[in-house]
Structure formats: structure tokens, C-alpha cells
Amino acid sequence: MEQLEKDYRGKVRIVGMDVDQSQETAGNMGIMSIPAILLFKDGKEVSRIVGAQPRQRFVDELKAQFGV
């Protein structure tokens, strides 16, 4: 994720959350297992990727959702 953040800096914002430290927020977002990647556009969730995935899966989803 750190490399994706560098590669897409200025195009999308990638942030992390420690679900152990933010259990209430994780629960409110319906995060039941990690890793969980939630993509938001205009403040609304548009996609969710759960579980370990190859880097290309994230790249493909960023392209599909944000055209980057």
C-alpha cells in the first residue's frame, strides 16, 4: 500500500487505519476481516477489496473507479 500511495500521490489519497486502535470506526464501516481496502468517491463507498490481493488488483480497481 505504501508503494501505491507513492505511485498515485496527487491523484488519489490513500490512508491507513489501525483497526485495533479504532475498533468503533472499523465496526461502523463493517470491517470484519483485514486487510480490507475501501474505496470512496465523493464521500461514498464505491468498492471494497477484502483479503490479500496482488498489487495489480488494486491498480485495476483504481483505474476502474477513478480513471487513474
Q: What pTM value is reported for the model?
A: 0.84
Return the pLDDT at 7. Answer: 93
- The structural domain count of the chain equals 1
- pLDDT tens across 8-59, in order? 999 999 999 999 999 999 999 999 999 999 999 999 999 999 999 999 999 9
CATH of the domain at 37: 3.40.30.10
pLDDT band at 1 (very low <50, low <70, confident <90, very high): confident
Closest to 67 measured CA to CA, from 51, 49, 52, 46: 46
Task: Look at the alpha carbons of 27, 31, 33, 36 in this order and tell me if their dihedral is positive or negative.
Answer: negative
Q: Give the structural domain span for 22.
A: 2-66
Report d(CA 39, CA 65) in Å as an integer.
8
pLDDT band at 67 (very low <50, low <70, confident <90, very high): very high
Closest to 1 measured CA to CA, from 36, 29, 27: 36
